[in-house]
Structure 1
Amino acid sequence: MNQIDLKGRRAVITGGAQGIGLAIAQRLVASGASVSLWDLDAKLATEAAEQLSKIGDAHGIGMDVTQPSEVAAALSSSVNRMGGVDILVANAGIAGPNLKTWEYPIEAWQQVIDIDLTGIFLCCRAIAPLMIEQKYGRIVNTASIAGKEGNPNAPAYSAAKAGVIALTKSLGKELPEYDIAVNCITPAVARTRIFDQMTQQHIDYMLSKIPRGRFVEVEEIASMVAWLVSAENSFTTGAVFDLSGGRATY
């Protein structure tokens, strides 16, 4: 494992109690950062933080990224605990059902958009002013290859992740003068609990599109994020970093 220096850095990771978020948290803690795990499952966030505390500084907060008041409360708690925030990894998300667009339930559409897109907007909106004030910050938003290419039978997820890409580019153009880098990642699917939300047919479809012939490992995602949130990433912003195993066409 390459060594990334994050000593003294303070990170917020949404959806940080499991899957991709937890792998990122493990990598950042191993690199010297303090981490605040924001997750809808408060118990899981606490348990994950307890495990991470064996190798570094971590704490968990139960919260809902779709609620501005809960984002504000979680941020206040994180700042009180860590003294500030240098890094945001906005990762919380759901897949939603696998249905044709004309069959997609309106309430399911709204839920996916609220969590996968609006949740990232609310977290960026809350934390960016702190980074502006200290004239430093690194933000990584978790998008998806679905946001670049669109997956059939996943209209809400594809649309939300495309929105994350555009939001990242917009925010990246607004903050460069403050030494704040804003980038996003577009991974192929990883074998996490998000599979529980998908049909086997949809899982097989996604695997068939990956030239490497396998799903991405959460540790591979964490490796890329660790560099993106480091001070070494001093120039690139508003960019999209591919983790699709060769699937991406642009």
Structure 2
Amino acid sequence: MSISYAAGARTVLTVALLSLGLTLGCASSGRQQEEQALAKRKAKAYFDLAVDHHDHGRIEAALRQLLVAERFGPENPRILHGLAIAYAKKQRYDQAQLYLQRTLKIRPDYHDARFNLSSLYIKTENWQGSAQQSEILIDDPTYAMVWRSYGNWGWAEYRMGNVTRGTELLDKALQLRPHYWPARLNLGILYAEQGRKKEAIAEFARILKQIRDPGAVAEVNYRLAELFVSVGKRNDAIGHLRTAVVKAPGNP
């Protein structure tokens, strides 16, 4: 009887320990879930602060908040993408590229991140890289704004020496979205550099009817001034040059 009792006691004790283990496991799991939820809330709070700073032109402050947000959400693609944008605006292109690549590793279908990577490659003159990223986006049937990628791809092809292909792709961007002025600006530059001055002037003139951004207006007017000087239209050149000076960033 004593042996049976001892065996029964051990069985009861074993069951009790197992139950305790399950209880502790549930408590541990519950705490972990609470900590994860808290980390997500903190990441979102710091990210929202960063967005506000960014929208008001406080890029350094936005970057600080994003770095804190990253501590609480190191795999959050929105935070990583935000860091890439902030670093790019600070001209820290190597860091921007790393964060964009991290973003796409976590979320390959993050279209804005891939487009920004293709644009960053243009900024750093990695023409082949830009073309590859643009082609990936264009081949993706879920990507809506394909004209942007045709624009980047066209400029990359032109800079690689493929003038005809570059022109075709820029034209394609404008067929899809006639008011997409970055593609029209690049097409105008292409025409100007290829000696097609009348076509370049026509493209730049069309842009001025579409845009309001002071920096872009200044650039287009400056390019028009150069072209008008080259074709002997001095008065037209002076008018556009004056507008370029007035609209240049930093002027009142």
Greater length-normalized contact order (CA 8 Å, ≥ 6 residues apart): 1
Q: TM-score, normalised by structure 2?
A: 0.27
Structure number with greater Rg is 2
Q: TM-score, normalised by structure 1?
A: 0.27
Higher strand content, 1 or 2: 1
